[in-house]
Structure 1
Amino acid sequence: MDNKVLYDITWASYGIALFHFLAEIFIFKTSKIPGPVMSTFVVAYPFSWLQNKESKNDLYNYLQKETSYTNKIMKSTRSLQKRLAKEMEEALYVEQTPPPIETVNGPFTYYTKIRSDNGSTLYYRRAINDKNAPEELLVDSVEFLNKEGCSINSILVSPDNSLIGCLLTDLSSYKNRTGNDEHDIASQELGQLRIYKIISSASSSSSLNKSFKKANLEMVGCVKDVLNFVWSTNDAIYFTSLNDKLRSDKVYLHDLNSPSKETSPYLIFEEHDEEAFLDVTKTKDGEYISIYSSTLDSNQVYLIPTGASFKDIKNGSKGKLTPISPRIRGVESFVDHINDEFVVLSNYQPNDTSSSNEPTEARKFSLYKCNDKTLPTAEEWEQWLVLNEEQQIQDVELLKDFIVVFIKRQGLPEIIAWDIAKKAWKQVPLPAGNEVCSVKPNANTFESPCIRFSYHSPTHLDIVADYNLETNKISKKWQSTHIGFNPSDFVCYREKVPSRDKSVQIPVTLIHHRHLEKDSFNPVLFRLYGAYGVPLEPEFRVTDIPLLKRNWIIALAHIRGGNELGPSWYTTGKSHLKPNSVLDFMDCVQYMFDEKWSSPSKMSAITESAGGFVLGTALNKQPDWFRALVMKVPFLDPISSMLDTSLPLTNVEKSEWGDISNDPKIYSILEKYAPYDQIPQLNVSSSEPDIASLPSILITGGWKDQRVLPWQQAKWVAKWRQVNSHIYGKDSMKLDMFNSVSFPKLLLNMDFESGHFSQHQQQHQDSRNPFERHKEGAFTTSFLLREVNGE
């Protein structure tokens, strides 16, 4: 194949001659190339051509060749992958399953079931007041997929129960999208909203149910390019859509009774702030539509009375579209309505003098209330519930006579409830069991005195409980009984790791067999994230079960950048403090070595998306600490991303990563930790004793990903191979070397049908084939087992 010389044309028009392909090995052969060139925060890198739109075909070809190479290397694990998929499927087998989650809407209760024969999700309803009323099947997800070629994202019922709105993803349309133009960027994230009239039929019977009837659905409306929606009245829907930069910037009102000659949907609100995105919800009692305009660290809330028409909103006859408070950096508020009062969950602080542009320190959330005679402006809020420093509010559930608050104390869950009549708080006991768990509210009925919540841990699927707030007793409890493994064989507990500067204690959740003892040969898999205030929950992950059964330790690193210990845990792990996330993770790994739980030859880690910044940086700093790493759709090149305002999410992300275009201090900090920029040259020989201390690395990506574009993974892999060509480059990539487990590998697997979220998983979630359902988990787990255990 002729050498192909490609040139990088950057914003500053720097051109750097690059490298050529060697077709027989599918790996870049590179000569020594200069370092980056920077001028006024414009950077030219040797592999920047991979992110240029003009080079998209070359990027595609490169990724195809890398993926082909990965498939050749992983071919020998095919039988292991099938065994692992079967083990994962068996881990989900239970003797008893929790009851369906029911949602009451007027005279009907709605719920779902899963068919055991084909995995289909069945959407049912049943009349409440008629004990003999048959179940009515509304939608069968597999049947819908087969007939319509669409998967179901969500279903909402109109207030009068006569219509259902189905938000769908057209899988055939998605597959044909290339992601090459701006419309494709947005359309990959959007769905089609179809409105169906429910036409009840006569009762039927089947092997599934002796008495049920299947409703006929008649489509009466269709709206394209919908991100989220909510019913207002029986004939009106509010929905959001995306612009070409993946920002939800518009809210529309769709009137089902509008004549075709009129313009519907109507544009209700447009957000011009490039850092903000919109969402629309409805209060629990159905009295108000809420429009949220949110950045990553602030929001504004607009309220519209349910039933207000387009004209009402425009002329202000039912209240002007006015935010309840000005936007203040660091302040977020969430509004609901009950018993003629607004209930507000907010970290707003009374007498706040901050300007709308002034960044603030982390603020704790409190619960407020105020009457609904006027808009609930912040000055009228009455502080209702203030938690101590150890507590943080996670969620609030409104019932007719109670307000239930889900909180965390030192990262562990609790539930408290406010009795509206008695004006007193009470504690809701959690089911007996492991305290290291995740607790979330289920769908609850507004008029009911019972609160239903689910409780699950890394070793147990689900416990569902109904707690009666009037009798103060658990009225019902369902606990899944596993068949594929015994949860009591394993333990789950939390340790605290001191940070290197002794300023904080970092929580680490450890899960392993109860008889496992400390030993440097214990294999460990660390899970981590540490970004956007998203907690790494101690929840059931089916991919961990095969590892636990093989005496692995699963370690969850609750590092700063998440919100496990409250708002300050997040704010001290973002922007100019982002290095804390990296150092916390490294301290957790060091703890496992110091406590003799494991050693570098048995250490592995897995992360995804923004967690790639943390794991990629830790790899740069201590490559000899790990035996195997998996990074899924990883964010590895923050400098290039945050300097390019043409990318979909750059402006939105400034509060997370910093405005490096205008702030030299933040640029300097981020550049020193950026995984792509700081790839080290490994000073080891290519002899087997030396390279045994280096990790094998698996990188995955999605060609249609518009959050972390595929050039991120391509650039990182290409540079890593070039800088360390004596280990990961062409000369060390002969297939026969991979028979040695100790030989480090660098693999890039690109899914050309997926975006940031797996298209394969979405298409095959209802599949009867266990291998298809667990294909991705089995692939990554087989990589870990091969590299760490030698399976």
Structure 2
Amino acid sequence: MTHTPAETVRASSMASSPASRPEPPVARKVPTERSHHGDTFVDHYEWLRDKENPDVVAHLQAENAYTEAVTAHQQPLREAIFQEIKNRTQETDLSVPVRKDGWWYYGRMEEGKQYGIQCRVRATDTGDPAADWTPPQVAAGRPVPGEQILLDGNAEAEGKPFFSLGGSAVTKDGRLYAYAADYAGDERFTLRIKDLDTGRLLDDVVENVFYSLAFDPDDSRVFYTVVDESWRPYQIKAHTIGTSVDSDVVIYQEDDPAMWMGFELSADRRHLVIGIGCSEYSETRLLDFADPDAGLQTLIPRSERVLYDAEPFLLDGAQKVLLTHNKDAVNSMVSLADLSEFPRPLDAQHWDTVVEHDDGVRVNGAGVTSTHVVLSIRKDTIERVQVLPLDGLGTAAQAAPVEPDFDEELFTAGVGGSDYEAPMIRLAYTSFLTPPRIYDYELATGTLHLRKETPVLGGYDPANYVAEREWAAAADGTKIPLSVVRKATVQRDGSNPALVYAYGSYEVSMDPAFSTARLSLLDRGVVYVVAHVRGGGEMGRHWYDDGKKLHKKNTFTDFVDGTDWLAASGWADPARIAAMGGSAGGLLMGAIANLAPEKYAAIVAQVPFVDALTSILDPDLPLSALEWEEWGNPITDPEVYGYMKSYSPYENVRPAAYPKIAAVTSFNDTRVLYVEPAKWVAALRETGTGSDPIVLKTEMDAGHGGASGRYAAWKDRAWDYAFTLDAIDATELA
């Protein structure tokens, strides 16, 4: 008899019953005591943290072998999904060129190749600003006259297990190209510099740099960031081209382990802008390139406990600073101040209001061009862009902000990178139904120019799908926004499979965005729901504050309440609902597995932060001290310790019938260490009472984002989706 692929999957799945399933590896128990605030926790699997221990590696490999055996019947489905993603993707493609100085920069992909190729062509200046800032017409798969390749990621990755580009920069004269590459997945990059006139790599090599690169305006130095042993960026250094790395100068060093640090050039490239901060307050320091001997100028010191961003620029010949800040403004506002104000006490400084505070509008940030202010705001959960001219800024003559008009209910619009002198700004637009679009927005006229919509092959028609906003009631009466995406033909008859996804931390919003891979779920009749739970930023700053520290459990209960809404809505069969989340969203997955295991047919936890208390109690672990502003400090505060212990997934595993669970991690992840899901899976198997398989899949040559290369990333996504679809009986195309 001939079987369809779906029938083959079902037949294989039925064969994988508990009786015929291989036995999972059993991690040995080595009791380790952890004592804080009079409480002692005995951790039997902490020994798995020793990455250099051959027994640990052997255990992870045994877990991978078990996972492969248990999910072998899903391989045809994984391959089908991979091919669907591949067949929808125009593999030979390129980005819309972006002008910087005298060149147009862009990236292109070629069919059959894993990595992008960074390129440029010369720009021309005719005196017509609209023409000079209109990107050249370049077509996928066709030679571009005068193209110069800056970096071919495929050549760079050849013979290496991993490759990721962390940052790049070009000198103002266009001659030197600096780039940072990660070859292990640990987000520690190697900085190299290429002479674009000759194609030769310079002898300058700097190891173990972090994200962010920039040349100073005279092209003699390159700035970079260094991380400490706990993977916290703590130094900004300057390397002078052609000199020994040993002579690199420390521009700034941040010694507070609870502060994150980064830098960028100001939009007009007059200043190096150093940002230091946590989620609750920050500090900005400026280096004036016209007077570097004056050293760094601090704007608002961290001791004032103001959370702000600063953009210095010239306005009518005077040095100004545009501030996005939360001083007396929980959702933030925008003010304008003279640079000369900042040496004065904060209460004595004069600031002019540019954007007033609004309880219904979250101001995410503000930047400048030579003629306009560009605002990023969030209103009605949606991220939007607004612009207003510099003329009259901060005075009674200031014009009202103008917003580009889009016609969808649920969308995301953001600034996609613009040059300070350009007469237009680049916008990136997407929605659940609209593939990514690139627009240029003329600042003087408000005209939108569509430069590109990412093609989706195979006859994709957005009219075949629906994206709607729904609201779930939390136990405390709070209304939780849900984005519900489905195929238009799906009936509200209570029979459909569903997947609920969320993140819910760090004020990160799960904004509407198109996903080619997600079509493989929708086309199998899955109702896809994004739960915009507290701890994210979708509803303003208070939404974040109500889902952090001693309010963190709201994140978890919001997700369960959203699931309950879905189960009762008629859109889904309550027995066919799965959950998925990654990183801090993986913590969410671990928490809801303990809270309500019976509500889910499957849970996929991607690089999950499931041993949160252990990690944050150790300030020497990567990023632990930085996390205290998100979760609280359990080292010094017994209330925080007790609260975290009451929800940390690993410590709350209980005798319950857990659903099918897949924990997916990476051996070289520096953000959420592999040991967390490894310990969690061991505890789930030891304590859980159910018969459904619980598996651990570890990428041995990858980092926090999974394997490198687009085909490898597609295979990872296909694996996660196949695991989910198999569990909710949705393997067939609808």
Q: State the alpha-carbon separation in 2 of the partners of residues 646 and 680 from structure 1.
A: 29
Alignment partner for residue 85 of structure 2, among 85, 88, 93? 88
Amino acid at match of 1:651: A
Tell me how far 1:217 sits from its aligned partner. Answer: 3.5
The 1:524–1:408 alpha-carbon spacing in structure 2 relative to 1, beyond 3 Å, is same
After superposition, residues 322-471 of structure 1 pair within 5 angstroms as 322-329=298-305, 331-339=307-315, 340-349=318-327, 363-373=330-340, 375=342, 378=346, 379-421=349-391, 423-432=398-407, 434-471=408-445
- When residues 90 and 157 of structure 1 are mapped into structure 2, their CA distance, relative to the original with a 3 A threshold, is same
Q: CA 1:55/1:481 → structure 2, altered by over 3 Å: closer, same or farther? A: closer
Which residue, 176, 184, 200 being the options, matches 1:163? 176
Name whichever of 636-645 and 135-144 sits farther off: 135-144
The 3 A distance-change label for structure 1 pair 677 and 151 is closer
* Structure 1 residue 296 corresponds to structure 2 residue 288: no
Distance 1:453 1:98, change over 3 A: farther
User: Could you say what secondary structure the match of 1:275 adopts?
Assistant: coil
* Per-residue CA distance 1:384-429 (angstroms, 9 max, x = gap): 2114211112343421111121211121233321112263124222
Structure 1 residue 556: deviation in Å?
0.4
Distance, in Å, in 2 between the alignment partners of 1:83 and 1:93 is 17
Q: Tell me the CA shift for residue 329 of structure 1.
A: 3.9
Summarize the Cα distance change of 1:598–1:36 in structure 2 as closer, same or farther, 3 Å threshold.
farther
In the alignment, residue 190 of structure 2 is paired with which amino acid?
Q
Deviations 1:360-404 (A, max 9, x none): xx8221111122456576524322211421111234342111112
Shift, 1:243, TM fit: 0.7
Q: Indicate if the aligned counterparts of 1:98 and 1:462 stay in contact, CA closer than 8 A.
A: no
Q: How does 1:442-521 map to 2 (within 5 A)?
A: 442-484=416-458, 485-502=460-477, 504-521=478-495
Other-structure match for 2:682: 718
Q: What pairs with 1:89-104 in structure 2 (closer than 5 Å)?
A: 89-93=86-90, 100-104=96-100
Q: Does the 8 A contact of 1:37 with 1:43 survive in 2?
A: yes
Per the alignment, do residues 558 and 41 of structure 1 end up closer, same or farther by CA in structure 2, a change over 3 Å counting? farther
Question: Conserved in 1, the CA contact under 8 Å of 2:659 and 2:690?
Answer: no
**1:281 is aligned to 2:264:** yes
369-378 or 262-271: bigger deviation = 369-378
Structure 2 CA distance for aligned equivalents of residues 406 and 582 of structure 1: 29
Partner Cα separation in structure 1 for residue 333 and residue 582 of structure 2: 32
- TM-score of the two chains, using structure 2 as the length reference: 0.86
Distance 1:517 1:365 in 2: 42
Deviation per residue, 1:113-159 (Å, 9 max, x gap): 33346464231131323799833333333233349996533321112
- The aligned residue for residue 643 of structure 1 is 617
Q: Matched residues in 2 for 1:266 and 1:556: separation?
A: 46
Q: Provide the residue aligned with 2:5 in structure 1.
A: none
CA distance in 1, matches of 2:521, 2:342: 54
In structure 2, relative to structure 1, the CA distance for the partners of 1:41 and 1:751 (3 Å cut) is: farther
Distance 1:53 1:445, change over 3 A: closer
CA distance in 1, matches of 2:373, 2:535: 30
Distance 1:118 1:721 in 2: 40
Task: For 2:699 and 2:165, locate their aligned partners in 1 and report how far apart those are by CA, in whole Å.
Answer: 22
1:109 to 104, 107, 130: 104
Answer yes or no: is the 8 Å Cα contact 2:334–2:366 preserved in 1: no
Indicate if the aligned counterparts of 2:32 and 2:46 stay in contact, CA closer than 8 A. no
5+ unaligned residues in a row in structure 2: which ranges?
A: 1-21, 127-131, 137-144, 393-397
Partner of residue 726, structure 2: 786
C-alpha separation between the residues in 1 aligned to 2:588 and 2:113?
A: 40
Q: CA deviation at 1:727?
A: 3.0
- Are 1:254 and 2:250 matched, yes or no? no
In 1, the alpha carbon distance for the partners of 2:473 and 2:193 equals 55
Asked if 1 retains the 8 angstrom alpha-carbon contact of 2:91 and 2:111, the reply is no
Q: Residue type of the partner of 2:311? A: V
**SS state of the match for residue 652, structure 1?**
helix
Provide the C-alpha distance between the structure 2 equivalents of 1:27 and 1:257, rounded to a whole number of angstroms.
54
Structure 1: stretches of 5+ with no match in the other structure: 1-23, 176-187, 200-214, 313-317, 351-361, 685-693, 729-743
Q: CA deviation at 1:477?
A: 4.8
How do 1:598-747 residues align onto structure 2 when only pairs under 5 Å count? 598-682=572-656, 695-724=659-688, 726-728=689-691, 744-747=692-695
Alpha-carbon RMSD across the aligned residues, in angstroms, is 2.9
CA distance in 2, matches of 1:372, 1:62: 58
Counterpart residue identity of residue 121, structure 2: R
Aligned residue pairs, count: 680
Q: Hey, what's the Cα distance between the residues in 1 that align with 2:486 and 2:356?
A: 37
Q: CA deviation at 1:790?
A: 5.9
TM-score normalised by length of structure 1: 0.80
Asked if the contact 1:229–1:238 (Cα under 8 Å) also holds between the matched residues in 2, the reply is: yes
Q: In 2 relative to 1, CA 697–594 (structure 1 residues): closer, same or farther, beyond 3 Å?
A: same
Instruction: Choose which of 486, 506, 525 in structure 1 pairs with 2:499.
Output: 525
CA shift at 1:567, angstroms?
1.1
Post-superposition Cα deviations, 1:525-566, rounded to whole Å, max 9, x if no partner, equal 111110111111211223311010111111001111111111
Aligned match for 1:74, one of 53, 65, 71: 71
CA distance in 2 between partners of 1:147 and 1:35 (Å): 40
How far 1:302 sits from its partner (Å)?
0.5
The residue identity in structure 1 corresponding to 2:25 is I
Mapped to 2, the partners of 1:135 and 1:517 lie a distance apart of: 51
Q: CA deviation at 1:335?
A: 2.7
What's the CA shift for 1:36? 8.4
Which range is displaced more, 217-226 or 664-673? 217-226
Find the counterpart in structure 2 of residue 557 from structure 1: 531
Whether 2:223 is the aligned partner of 1:223: answer no
Whole-angstrom distance in 2 between the partners of 1:492 and 1:510: 6
2:156 aligned residue: 144
Secondary structure at 1:154 match in 2: strand
2:192 alignment partner in structure 1: 194
Q: Which residue of 1 aligns with 2:11?
A: none
Q: Distance in 1 between matches of 2:248 and 2:529?
A: 49
What is the identity, as a one-letter code, of the residue corresponding to 1:369?
A: L
Q: Is the 8 A contact 1:43 1:640 kept in 2?
A: no
2:166 is aligned to: 153
**Equivalent position SS for 2:437:** strand
Contact preservation (8 Å) 1:241, 1:248: yes
Matched residue, 2:16: none
Residue type of the alignment partner of 1:783: F
Give the CA deviation at 1:444.
Answer: 1.3
Secondary structure of the corresponding residue to residue 334 of structure 2: strand
Partners in 2 of 1:293 and 1:336 — Cα distance?
16
Aligned-pair identity (%): 22
CA gap 1:586/1:711 in 2 versus in 1, 3 angstroms: same
- Deviation string 1:475-528 (CA, Å, 9 cap, x unpaired) is 4453345322222200112112222111x2211101001232212221111111
Distance, in Å, in 1 between the alignment partners of 2:71 and 2:413 is 38
Give 1:721's aligned amino acid: R
Contact 1:439/1:454, CA 8 A, preserved across alignment = yes
SS of the residue corresponding to residue 377 of structure 2 reads: strand
Q: Counterpart of 1:548?
A: 522
User: Contact conserved, 1:196 with 1:220, CA < 8 A, in 2?
Assistant: no
CA shift at 1:624, angstroms? 0.8
Which letter does structure 2 place at the counterpart of 1:290? V
The equivalent residue for 1:757 is 705
